[in-house]
Structure 1
């Protein structure tokens, strides 16, 4: 009798165990099917939010255009984002006609457009740098380009932080992981490292902008490093803008002399790091 009762209890425990295993297996399967759907929904929301922000930026550009002085019919066709040096020349000619009387409108238009290009990693800011050298006094042009570059890059950073982290990790994980290792090695002198990267062409600016929040580069050194680091190459572009009508392509802005100067400045940006390491080794 006791054996029969024991057998029944063992059978009931076996049934309960099978039910528990089936239940856990079902839950695991449901979680596995939900995870890709959740990731897909999150990516979709990211794209939608990014599209809305982009549309808002386009509306802002439209407002700037509508508040610009009234243009002649033949002039309107040249008010567009320059895609090559010829477009920059035509746009520069039109803006120079209105610069004296409507200085702040022209300055504001260049400022907003530059930030728009940088914020969404759209090519063409090099032509606005050259154009700034053509339109404005050199110190103002240099400050304007550095400020626009740092502000636009910071907006791109924030966009990546808000909606692009998952997309960046999904589409360019290897490049991000590689740069993460470099940043970790230079964490103690991150500002100098960022300045060095902005001066040199080792990493494209758009990649630095969108990958920095993913690997937890702080925003303040990112902004300062961008502002300081873009100054040397901007100096070259703005200087070329003073002879805009003699240029045949954006490549004409870069000479062998300017490349040597940029290389020297890149090395100088790392000197504080080297001195710090030597002093640290000496006192240790």
Structure 2
């Protein structure tokens, strides 16, 4: 027994039925009913051929799924691109990173070199002590780097006694001690500045202080560049990055900024010496700025040296008047740099 159904008539009947059912899904419902009818007819005829309309629906669904997947992938790619653009626009924050094996090896080698330089400096100090004039026992105990104003007074008495007969030996000894303290960032150079003001005339004392400060600071700069660069960047990457940006911003007026730092006690000298090579301050600007910048404070120290034996504390060297003069000099040193930056901004705006 076989059953045949005319597709066109079936479609017409179904379309008429759809009008009674109504709604927006009429075409879909009609297709479903047609498929159901043809499925039953195929089962009665012993055939198992899938309806053509069902295949078309499946193909349409597959195409729609593929389009949805493509749209989803495009949206994900757009989101990733936006995130990458935002990350590029935001300033990268340096993070602390572990030192590699090569960096550790280079750091150890640098530390060995610094230790060798320190030992060599100590040997030089011992040599200066050996060539010094013969002293009695009471004088030998005062031949040391002064740690307070009383030590400076006693050392000044001893050196003043031998200065005329052993002029260059005494000067060489004080210069070596001064450079040694500056090179290895050891406190005590203020007392040696006062001591030089006591021992020598004003022009000689001023030149010696500026020369020793510049030479010692330059050696400290070199040691920091040799060893401290890796260590400081390793332990303080964020601060180092911020300081470097400030240096780049005021690179045209770094000399004036160095003068200002040397004249004011905002930052200690040892910190300036150690940090300058790490943040990109050129050596020639650093050395010249140090030589000129320490001159105003040195004038005050030399004047204090003239009354050294009357002093009871190192704080007496800096009166309110002297601090006012230093402040005026420091502000004056910044003016050229500030004016230069102001003119640059005006040119950019124009």
Picking from 161, 165, 174, the partner of 1:97 is 161
2:116 to 49, 52, 55: 52
User: What is aligned with 2:291?
Assistant: 227
CA contact (8 A) 1:46 1:164 kept: no
> Are residues 255 and 178 of structure 1, via their aligned partners in 2, closer, same or farther at CA, if it must alter by over 3 Å?
farther
Q: Does 1:62 align with 2:114?
A: no
1:274 aligns with 2:326: no
2:247 corresponding residue in structure 1: 183
For residue 215 of structure 1, the aligned residue among 279, 298, 303 is 279
Distance in 1, Cα, partners of 2:245 & 2:313: 37
Match of 2:324 among 243, 260, 275: 260
| 1:85 aligned onto 2:149 | yes
**Structure 2: which 5+ runs fail to align?**
1-97
Q: 8 Å contact 1:132–1:238 — kept in the other structure?
A: yes
* 1:194 counterpart residue number: 258
Larger radius of gyration: 2
User: What SS does the corresponding residue of 1:82 show, helix, strand or coil?
Assistant: coil
Whether the aligned pair in 2 keeps the contact of 1:49 and 1:163 (CA below 8 Å) is: no
Please report how far the alpha carbon of residue 245 of structure 1 lies from its aligned counterpart in structure 2 after TM superposition.
1.0
Contact residue 179 and residue 216 of structure 2 kept, 8 A: yes
The match for 2:234 is: 170
Instruction: Tell which deviates more after alignment, 212-221 or 274-283.
Output: 274-283
Q: What do the CA deviations read for 1:116-175 (whole angstroms, capped 9, x no partner)? A: 100000000000001011100011101100110001000001111122211222344454
Give the TM-score, by structure 1 length: 0.83
What value does the CA root-mean-square deviation take over the aligned residues?
1.9
Correspondence 1:132 to 2:199: no
> Are 2:223 and 1:159 equivalent residues in the alignment?
yes
Report the number of matched residues.
251
Distance of 2:341 and 2:109 partners within structure 1: 46
